[in-house]
Structure 1
């Protein structure tokens, strides 16, 4: 009997490391925007003895959120907007870290007669279009941070996006440049590096950074599901730790930031350099601002329900606290 038990014990022992590896595996998804691209460096900056981290790029934040909800990935880089939208629909999402903010630009067509930051001039042009019976067409990728930045900035300036202008949804930000070149829109709020690309190729001109609204410069948020937290808490912690480490690298080495944007997006160095100037590494989760964003989204009828309580309830600071040694009161709470 012993001759059969011994091989079985050896086989069982051999399987244990494999089970541990599967338990500690994390699939991280990110969008291919400038501030998202540093996440491509997280696997090489994670402790391989604690997590087997895999990072995959997607075209848009909506694609990343869909992958998380379908359980194709375990951790997702989305936006504060995606977070509120997911909670509005009753999905299981938990915020575990910030990442990088900024990256939004409002651009206007070259023929639109307005100067930089001239909101009064823009409102006059919109009124002129209205008087002529022509739609003043504004675009963004519905569901991303730039969309809410634009809507919030317009609302603050007294521009009604439902009555004063015609909204055009262009899902993939890489298509924004062609929409402007073809004259399909008069104004667009785009994400870097595509916004900087538009300016570099002179498909449009800069109007403003749309940060004067409740969301401010807040853009990216790292989220997961409650089942991932329950089954792989240490792997989630190490994933957050790797994000913080990469953020520190981006802060200290702008050249690495630029090279990473260039490598992941395939855009040239001038565009990557311009994009990096509009980005702000920040791993904190800004609770009060997240609530304000959710309130603004409801006011703008972007979501149907009051999710402010859910926004607060579904922020889990434990992983940031463990990775930084700081209390949540110093991490955006």
Structure 2
């Protein structure tokens, strides 16, 4: 064989390899397109409970960008201003899942018998603690809670975070201050506004109204318990088991929405402005300046930590194995699918590493 023939042979092999790789790539793209078309052909309806003041940015983005439609989902957002009402509706089958009912309240609910399961993530941290300006300026740290009247919505996630911080700091909330327990966060806000409480352990849902009422933020829940979990998507275990494909589709949409949130903060601001009906300045502040950590990952380790903390505070007396009420497999399946469909996307690689950190 001549040198020329060898060169021609090598070139032909190279061309053949390129053709094969292109064919594989096209096949993967065609398979993905076919799968999307199949999902769109079969529409699944979901009734999703949420707090209209907190919202759920990932759901808003997924709806606005058409991700739910891509996944064959028609999502109806059902508003609840009370977490208890939302969880009762979930248990009664009036909604399919809740997405902004916190972590502490669902855990309390489960401990009493209802068979619910967490299956995804949304929010960690991001809850304000507020007071009137004249009181806020006296706050120097955790010791400043002493001798104050503190309003808190019992069994909401920020309530657990605050009580845990007081306990760790050696502050006896029964002797060193006065606790005013409320049924819901809006009651906390009204108590502070009316001067019946010095400090309010707020929630993200009351942030905008607190600021509009002239209250100052003295601290954040993240300052008391770094990166604590809060809103986790939750549903009846039976519903999850019987509708696993629908749950995976829902999680795929949330993961894609998280990618948009990370890449385009200005769009995120506009979406919150649109769906929460805020002016631009408040939408920007609420989206970017409230210490909210927005992630689609279930964060199993964080849920277990919250469960153990609540038991240590004697808020829960139960032998329930909380591990059986946290499903991380469906999230991992959704993430694996997106990685397979987008093999060169570094964002999904990052989420896989985070998944291992948060769940094992």
Deviation at 1:319, TM superposition (A): 1.4
Deviation at 1:33, TM superposition (A): 3.8
Equivalent positions of 1:179-328 (< 5 A) are 179-192=191-204, 194-202=206-214, 204-212=215-223, 216-276=227-287, 277=289, 278-307=291-320, 310-325=321-336, 326=352
SS of residue paired to 2:134: coil
- Relative to structure 1, is the Cα distance of residues 167 and 37 closer, same or farther in structure 2, using a 3 angstrom cutoff? farther
Q: Where do 5+ consecutive residues of structure 1 fail to align?
A: 1-19, 127-135
Give the equivalent residue in structure 2 for 1:91.
114
Contact 1:37 1:260 in 2 (8 A): yes
TM-score (norm 1): 0.79
**Distance in 2 separating the partners of 1:160 and 1:321:** 42
Give the equivalent residue in structure 1 for 2:92.
70
Contact 1:68 1:76 in 2 (8 A): yes
Q: Does 1:45 align with 2:67?
A: yes
Q: Does 1:54 align with 2:76?
A: yes
- Relative to structure 1, is the Cα distance of residues 169 and 121 closer, same or farther in structure 2, using a 3 angstrom cutoff? closer
**Distance in 1 separating the partners of 2:185 and 2:78:** 18
Contact 1:106 1:150 in 2 (8 A): no
SS of residue paired to 1:28: strand
Asked which structure has the greater RCO (Cα within 8 Å, sep 6+), the reply is 1
Deviations 1:201-242 (A, max 9, x none): 42x322212325567432110111122123221111111111
TM-score (norm 2): 0.73
Deviation at 1:306, TM superposition (A): 4.7
**Distance in 2 separating the partners of 1:60 and 1:215:** 25
Contact 1:154 1:160 in 2 (8 A): yes
Deviation at 1:26, TM superposition (A): 2.0
- Relative to structure 1, is the Cα distance of residues 163 and 257 closer, same or farther in structure 2, using a 3 angstrom cutoff? farther
Q: Where do 5+ consecutive residues of structure 2 fail to align?
A: 1-40, 337-351
- Relative to structure 1, is the Cα distance of residues 147 and 301 closer, same or farther in structure 2, using a 3 angstrom cutoff? same
Which structure has the greater CA radius of gyration? 2
Contact 1:38 1:261 in 2 (8 A): no
Moved beyond 6 Å, runs of 4+: none
SS of residue paired to 2:158: helix
Give the equivalent residue in structure 1 for 2:5.
none
Deviations 1:237-282 (A, max 9, x none): 1111112222222222223333333333334333332222221111
- Relative to structure 1, is the Cα distance of residues 145 and 269 closer, same or farther in structure 2, using a 3 angstrom cutoff? farther
Give the equivalent residue in structure 2 for 1:4.
none
- Relative to structure 1, is the Cα distance of residues 227 and 272 closer, same or farther in structure 2, using a 3 angstrom cutoff? same
Deviation at 1:35, TM superposition (A): 5.6
Deviations 1:164-221 (A, max 9, x none): 333334444345443222111111011225225423542x322212325567432110
Give the equivalent residue in structure 1 for 2:359.
332
Deviation at 1:38, TM superposition (A): 4.0
**Distance in 1 separating the partners of 2:71 and 2:169:** 52
**Distance in 1 separating the partners of 2:297 and 2:284:** 24
Give the equivalent residue in structure 2 for 1:81.
104
Correspondence for 1:110 among 112, 127, 133 = 133
More strand by share: 1
Deviation at 1:69, TM superposition (A): 0.7
**Distance in 2 separating the partners of 1:33 and 1:49:** 26
Contact 2:159 2:201 in 1 (8 A): yes
The worse-fitting range, judged by mean Cα deviation, of 63-72 and 151-160 is 151-160
Contact 2:258 2:295 in 1 (8 A): yes
The worse-fitting range, judged by mean Cα deviation, of 183-192 and 152-161 is 152-161
Correspondence for 1:148 among 151, 160, 182 = 160
**Distance in 2 separating the partners of 1:252 and 1:37:** 14
